[in-house]
Amino acid sequence: MLKNKNIVLGVTGGIAAYKCVDLVSRLRKKGAEVHVILTKGAQNFVAETAMREISGNSVVTSMWQDIPHYDVEHIALANLADLVLIAPATANLLAKAAAGMADDMLTTTLLATKAPVFFAPAMNSNMYENPVTQNNICALQQRGWHLIPPASGHLACGTDGIGRMPEPSELIEAVEGCFRPKCRSMAGLRVLVTAAGTREPIDPVRYIGNRSSGKMGYAIARAAAELGAEVTLISGPSALPVPPGMNVLQVESARDMRRLVLDAFSSSDIVIKAAAVSDYRVKNTSDHKIKKNDTELTLVLEKNPDILRELGQLKQPQQILVGFAAETQNLVQYAQSKLEKKNLDMIVANDVSNPKAGFNVDTNLIKLLKRDGSIEEIPLMSKKELAYVILSRVMELKNMNGAIE
Ligand code: CTP
């Protein structure tokens, strides 16, 4: 997979830099061409001569050094790279990269490259968990960079906690994934996804709606299609572009959604209900625009069907049913009760009062609750990345399910 690939390895000033000698040696054994950039800090931990010997290439230590065979200037490595790996990535490097700074050869290369970028943070756990560092990581992930999460264990500062750079073999496994032919782990499965909010008419020009944008549901539908599934997306009104490569059905009201979902349900292997369905509709909708008067207007609302609950009753043992719980308080307790009442295999609980989670933002912060009572907290990440995390857990359930059948 790595044969003849140009890997630019940026090493920054953390104690874990010593592992990079082994990392470069392993990359070369896999057939990669390795080009090392050592920041000033890194040069305190690993010698340029060692890296030059082990990589078989000149090592870049400064913006201004003269390296004869790198064509021209400071962006030569950025253009040459098939992949850039920063290991270890210090908090300082992450902050500079997130801010778009270019004050040395590594940050300049990062700003100029179009190649995929992987970064392996390594630092003291308080520094890693500091919201400033977490925000920088989140910003880089939103830009499409790939995080290789640090491991927990004994740290160089003498404490135990999260912040250790993973072993070279694990770093290599992560970057190899980038060159693997696209994974089709959901091929042959029919996946039904609902997304966005429903609209309940009041009269021909007005409706009751909600703040759901459809971003989470659309991201799940796209990711499932990317993984090879045959996807049907049933969506309430959304400003998002219609995703390619799937069957997209547009609906307005909860009752429209119910009809289409029930039609598709029996032939679906996996159903993920991310839609924000209106629990009530207007009892007597007006055929004509309601004219204002001088007093109050009272709308009488009647209950809409709970689509997910119906699906829970119809569900066959081989089907996987996933719901969402959008809450502003008692997140776990309410989500747990929906998981049970609606007979779900898993529920995605999100606290929509958090500005980085829930409606109409690009990130989400969720907990995954399963029938076995487990609760998994997923760190803040983009909805696009989260879609793959959710699908990987769904596939674990599907595979367990298959094993039981
Ligand atoms: N849902 C549904 N039909 C409804 C209401 C909700 O299918 N009429 C689904 C949603 O798509 C979601 C899950 O049920 O997957 C939970 O939705 P949510 O609005 O969080 O909860 P409700 O069941 O409506 O309960 P409440 O409004 O009291 O929180």
Asked if residues 362 and 387 have their Cβ atoms less than 8 Å apart, the reply is no
Task: Report whether residue 323 contacts ligand 1, using a CB cutoff of 6 Å.
Answer: yes
Sole residue written with tokens 């908090």: 91
Task: Report whether residue 273 contacts ligand 1, using a CB cutoff of 6 Å.
Answer: yes
pLDDT tens digits for range 197-225:
999 999 999 999 999 999 999 999 999 99
Report DSSP letters for 238-270, one per residue: -SSPPPSSSEEEE--SHHHHHHHHHHHHTT-SE
The pTM of the whole model exceeds 0.75: no
| Positions marked catalytic | 157
114 CA from centroid of ligand 1 (Å): 42
pLDDT tens digits for range 142-175:
888 998 989 888 888 788 888 999 999 989 988 9
Determine the atom of ligand 1 nearest the C-alpha atom of 341: 23
pLDDT tens digits for range 360-372:
788 889 999 999 9
How far apart are alpha carbons 375 and 366 in whole angstroms? 10
Please report, for the chain, how many H helices and E strands are present, in that order.
Answer: 13, 19
- pLDDT, residue 405, reads 45
Asked if residues 321 and 340 have their Cβ atoms less than 8 Å apart, the reply is no
Domain boundaries, the chain: 6-179, 190-400
pLDDT tens digits for range 108-133:
999 999 999 999 999 999 999 999 99
Determine the atom of ligand 1 nearest the C-alpha atom of 325: 20
CATH of domain 190-400: 3.40.50.10300
Task: Report whether residue 346 contacts ligand 1, using a CB cutoff of 6 Å.
Answer: no
Mean pLDDT across the chain, nearest whole number? Answer: 92
pLDDT band of residue 64 (cuts 50, 70, 90) is confident
pLDDT band of residue 235 (cuts 50, 70, 90) is very high
394 CA from centroid of ligand 1 (Å): 19
- Closest of 292, 297, 293, 308 to residue 258, by C-alpha: 308
pLDDT tens digits for range 218-233:
999 999 998 999 999 9
pLDDT tens digits for range 345-363:
999 999 888 888 878 788 8
Residue 305: DSSP 8-state:
P
pLDDT at 184 over 60: yes
What is the average pLDDT across 295-304?
96
What is the average pLDDT across 321-332?
95
Evaluate whether 6-179 and 190-400 have a shared fold.
yes
Give, for 75, the enclosing helix (H) or strand (E). Answer: none
What is the average pLDDT across 89-101?
97
How far apart are alpha carbons 400 and 210 in whole angstroms? 36
What is the fold of 6-179?
Rossmann fold (3.40.50)
pLDDT at 26 over 50: yes
Range from 101-105, 241-245, 264-268 carrying the lowest mean pLDDT = 241-245
pLDDT at 72 over 60: no
Determine the atom of ligand 1 nearest the C-alpha atom of 310: 7
pLDDT band of residue 404 (cuts 50, 70, 90) is very low
What is the average pLDDT across 60-87?
81
How far apart are alpha carbons 149 and 166 in whole angstroms? 8
- pLDDT, residue 68, reads 60
Asked if residues 348 and 366 have their Cβ atoms less than 8 Å apart, the reply is yes
- pLDDT, residue 73, reads 59
Tokens of 141: 């992930």
375 CA from centroid of ligand 1 (Å): 20
Report DSSP letters for 269-293, one per residue: SEEEE--B--SEEESS--SSPPPP-
Task: Report whether residue 254 contacts ligand 1, using a CB cutoff of 6 Å.
Answer: yes
pLDDT band of residue 69 (cuts 50, 70, 90) is low
Task: Report whether residue 308 contacts ligand 1, using a CB cutoff of 6 Å.
Answer: yes
- pLDDT, residue 311, reads 98
